[in-house]
A and B are shown apart, each in its own frame.
Chain A
Amino acid sequence: MSLLIGALTIGFILSLLALGVLISFRIFAFPDITAEGSLTLGAAVAATLLVNNVNPFLATLAAVLCASAAGATTGILHTKFKINGLLSGILVMTALYSVNLHVMGRSNVPLLSAHTFVTQAEQLGASLLGAAESVNVFGWDVSTRDISVALFSLLSAVGVAVLIYAFFRTDIGTAMRATGDNSQMIRALGVSDGNMIIFGLAVSNGLVGLAGALLAQYQGFADVQMGIGMLVWGLASVIIGEALVGVRQLGYLVGGAVMGSVFFRLLVAIALRWGLDPNDLKLITALFVFGALILPGLISKAKRSKQPVSGGAHA
């Protein structure tokens, strides 16, 4: 049971990453690998501030702002200096590796005695549920601390998802969606598509940084390596989410990304439980995304090649 709760908690935290990837990858069709650096940046900034006794809210906010700045940098490299999108992201991600080491001062910052969102959630849970070590959930005994943290991550994910959904229904959010859809049209309606991409990547990476900050607080440390492979994990969540909801409408996409992230974490937890070598996890995730990317094309191709046969039989 604690395995399940753990998977749900990480799933909700990383759904913020999935929402960030949804913006860059689905709304702008921009493969923004900056995410791998900005996730670590978010974790590094939050952890460093937390061990220096900064309030968890301020520490997390600072993490979001720093990660946003990283995303904006990628956007500026791409739109103002006309550097290929993927390369812009790689440049910023590479630079961020050094930045992250400088922020942390070493490769790993533990949060052993720091006051974090997680410890706050645990305290809040303890005061609400009483001093009991565990509570009964659907017949299982679950530790009060785990369930409080899981609820906290659920509320964060849902809260942010609702905010993102609302944002995309505003004037500027609608313009952002249209920019990815048809940049010529949005320029003709008076919006600078370049500025919109910079802004969108800032929002996207801010979400990724938030995921990093919360992940560091949950697992109790920030590590300079923690961002590696995160973009593909985010992509996998977005793709699973799309398969789960089946509709490409805004609300479904946002909700799907959250659900996809949670579902993906559950799959990973089950696979690991069955004895999957953790070293193979990223390989399998990459293969999964590869399959998900080419499958729609293969299916429609198979459908097309069937049609002449049936047409011929008809004739």
Chain B
Amino acid sequence: MLELNSIRKTFNPGTPNEVRSLQGVDLKLRDGSFVVVIGTNGSGKSTLLNAIAGTFFLDSGSISLSGNNVTSWPEHRRASLIGRVFQNPFSGTAPTLSIAENIALASRRGQPRGLGWALTPKLREEMHESVRSLGMGLESRLDNIIGSLSGGQRQALTLLMATWLKPKLLLLDEHTAALDPKSAEQVIQISDRIIAQGKLTTLMVTHSMQQAVTLGDRLIMMHRGQILHDLSGADKRRLRAEDLLERFEEVRRADLLDESAAEMLRRMYV
């Protein structure tokens, strides 16, 4: 179970570049739930994922994951519990290493690494099986370097790597945003299958309204560093893309109102 208790983060505090990214977010995820996170640009949805992954430390609040208070754990320590796929297909794999070596690295995620061979015949066999299940024909190219693959192929492999050892939490940060539509669809289908098969607790950020309504069993909409809507169960199932667009429109209008009101006040008093 993941539990966020009023987490807050401000970047560059006290400077003109101050960004209040997370302004008191509370969130509880049941084991096995698949939560989709949407929000406008700068709403803090990617920051939320990075806060959980430990890319930075919080200003206040706490994070606990499957019974561990991980608030003060550095990023690499949290990796023993968390699998991640990034937006940039180049971020999740080491380009000059082979497919097999990349997967071998992932097969020891969060475990001590010693002087045993990274690649063993047994591991290779398992790789062959799993990589074939991606349906990309990569199982015959395990010794090719990852840098020679397309973005979609790299994302699919990153997904496989992130879930090679079952993570307590899977974080997907707009992992199809940088892909062409066909690859994006392919990677989404693979994600859905892997998550369903492993009953993985998942937090997925997306820009795609389509993905937001069809995937997951719960939807969170963020705005200005806070959770604005939180839909699950029947509400989530009934949700259509138009409803989401409507809610985005509401947010936009409220924002405009804020800005025009501020502008009016400024004209009157400054």
Contact = CB atoms under 8 A, between A and B. Distances in A.
A174 B104 contact: yes
The number of chain B residues touching the other chain, given as a range, is 35 or more
B118 interface: yes
A187 B111 CA distance: 12
A171 B113 contact: yes
Nearest to A195: B76
Given A170-B118, A178-B105, A191-B76, 8 more contacts: A169-B119, A171-B118, A174-B97, A175-B105, A178-B94, A185-B92, A187-B75, A248-B96
Q: Which 7 residue pairs are nearest across A and B when measured between Cβ atoms?
A: A190-B79, A190-B110, A181-B94, A171-B113, A178-B94, A174-B118, A172-B113
A231 to B, nearest CB: 23
B84 A169 contact: no
B114 interface: yes
Contact of A174 (B82, B105, B161): B105
B91 interface: yes
A28 to B, nearest CB: 12
A190 to B, nearest CB: 4
Contact of B108 (A167, A171, A192): A171
Interface in B112-137: 113-119
SS of A interface (majority): helix
Interface in A161-191: 167, 169-175, 177-178, 181-182, 184-191
A187 B106 CA distance: 11
Contacts of A171: 104, 108, 113-118
Contacts of A223: none
B174 interface: no
Interface of B: 53, 74-77, 79-80, 82, 84, 86, 90-97, 101-102, 104-106, 108-111, 113-119, 161-162
B38 to A, nearest CB: 23
Residue from B75, B76, B162 with most neighbouring chain A CB atoms (10 Å): B76
A173 B118 contact: yes
29 contacts: A169-B119, A170-B113, A171-B114, A172-B113, A172-B114, A172-B115, A174-B104, A177-B97, A178-B102, A178-B105, A181-B97, A182-B94, A184-B91, A185-B92, A185-B94, A186-B76, A186-B94, A187-B79, A188-B82, A188-B84, A189-B79, A189-B105, A189-B106, A189-B108, A189-B161, A190-B76, A191-B76, A191-B113, A248-B96
